[in-house]
Amino acid sequence: MKVVALAGGTGSAKLLRGLQAEIDEFTVVSNVGDNFWNHGLYVCPDIDIAVYTLAGTSDVAKGWGLRGDTFNVLAQLGKLGEETWFNLGDMDLATQIFRTEQLSKGRRLGDITTMLCDRLRVRQKVLPCTDDRLETYIDTHLGPMHLQDFWVKNHGEPEVTGVEYRGSETARAEYRVITAIEEADRVIFCPANPVTSILPILAVDGVKRALSSTKARRVAVSPIIGDAPVSGPAGKMLKAIGAGTDSSSVAGLYRGLVDVMVLDAADETRRRDIERHGIRAVSSSILMNDFESERRVARQALVA
């Protein structure tokens, strides 16, 4: 079975770990809207969390970065008077140095990510949704700011009035992404912030078309249990784009692109609303708080 997983960061990583325990090979199409330049380096947090997770080296407890990493370089940058609000560990910086050097040689982000996977012995394919610049900007009462400025530097505190995917008018899909979706048997929308992780992927030219025409079964695992996301700022952002903060509202955003949504058993009452979007609902336990639950949710996503 050919499986493609559309993925963001922390929530998605849990499902990817579960998937890897169930099947050997699959392709991850990663969000790039959170990529940004920091200390002269091109940082791609969602790509890296997928790669580190699949390499078995991620810091599972933190949900980002590498297990056992230290922060000496960042501390020294602080002494030099530089900003240190984005936590990049010493080992993590090696990835950013590697990527930035390859970019300076003219290589594309997708090819560099493949090199990274090969060198870290990751058997699965991780592809950025695009090689082009596509950045998620959050419109706030302080003005528009990059997602990292909003979420990490400003702790997600500013009032959100809207979201923009800068560059989406011209971003073209990474050259393997469309074929991967078209030839897949199953496309899984990982549980992820719909606004900052999945919609930027869908904003890339050709991705929605490929999702509409693929013969694959398209399954979304809801990132929401009850009336609130399991974690992170998804609620605030869903409200800002005029959507509700429940599973059926997320189903509405994926309408026409998803066949089945896996929702939590606690949300049985939303079934009818989800099915109104033409999406079949399957209820299960979708909270992933250990390896066993990650495997269980991954199995659901593979059979739903």
Binding site for ligand GDP (CB under 6 A): 8-12, 14, 46, 191-193, 197, 221-223, 229-232, 234, 286-288
Q: Extract the tokens encoding 149.
A: 């400025």
* Minimum distance from residue 104 beta carbon to ligand GDP (Å): 26
* Minimum distance from residue 213 beta carbon to ligand GDP (Å): 25
Between 12 and 96, name the residue whose CB sits nearer to ligand GDP: 12
Integer Cα distance of 259 and 235 in angstroms: 23
Integer Cα distance of 157 and 189 in angstroms: 27
- Ranked by CB distance to ligand GDP, the top (closest) residue is 11
* Minimum distance from residue 238 beta carbon to ligand GDP (Å): 9
Nearest-5° angle of CA 131, CA 135, CA 139? 170
- Sign of the Cα pseudo-torsion (129, 143, 40, 66, in order): negative
* Minimum distance from residue 243 beta carbon to ligand GDP (Å): 13
Between 187 and 221, name the residue whose CB sits nearer to ligand GDP: 221
Between 102 and 203, name the residue whose CB sits nearer to ligand GDP: 203
Would strands 36-38 and 27-30 be described as parallel, antiparallel, or unpaired? Answer: unpaired
Q: Is 3 helix (H, G, I), strand (E, B) or coil?
A: strand
Between 53 and 168, name the residue whose CB sits nearer to ligand GDP: 53
Between 9 and 65, name the residue whose CB sits nearer to ligand GDP: 9
Would strands 125-128 and 36-38 be described as parallel, antiparallel, or unpaired? Answer: unpaired
* Minimum distance from residue 294 beta carbon to ligand GDP (Å): 8
* Minimum distance from residue 23 beta carbon to ligand GDP (Å): 19
Between 107 and 299, name the residue whose CB sits nearer to ligand GDP: 299
Q: What is the DSSP letter of 159?
A: P
Between 45 and 167, name the residue whose CB sits nearer to ligand GDP: 45
Helix axes 10-22, 45-55, angle to 10 degrees: 30
* Minimum distance from residue 182 beta carbon to ligand GDP (Å): 24
What are the start-end ranges of the H helices in the chain?
Answer: 10-22, 45-55, 72-79, 90-104, 109-119, 147-148, 177-182, 199-202, 207-213, 234-240, 247-253, 271-276, 291-303
Between 42 and 189, name the residue whose CB sits nearer to ligand GDP: 189
Integer Cα distance of 20 and 56 in angstroms: 10
* Minimum distance from residue 192 beta carbon to ligand GDP (Å): 3
What does each C-alpha distance from 31 to 1, 95, 121, 243, 270 come to in angstroms?
Answer: 23, 17, 21, 21, 28
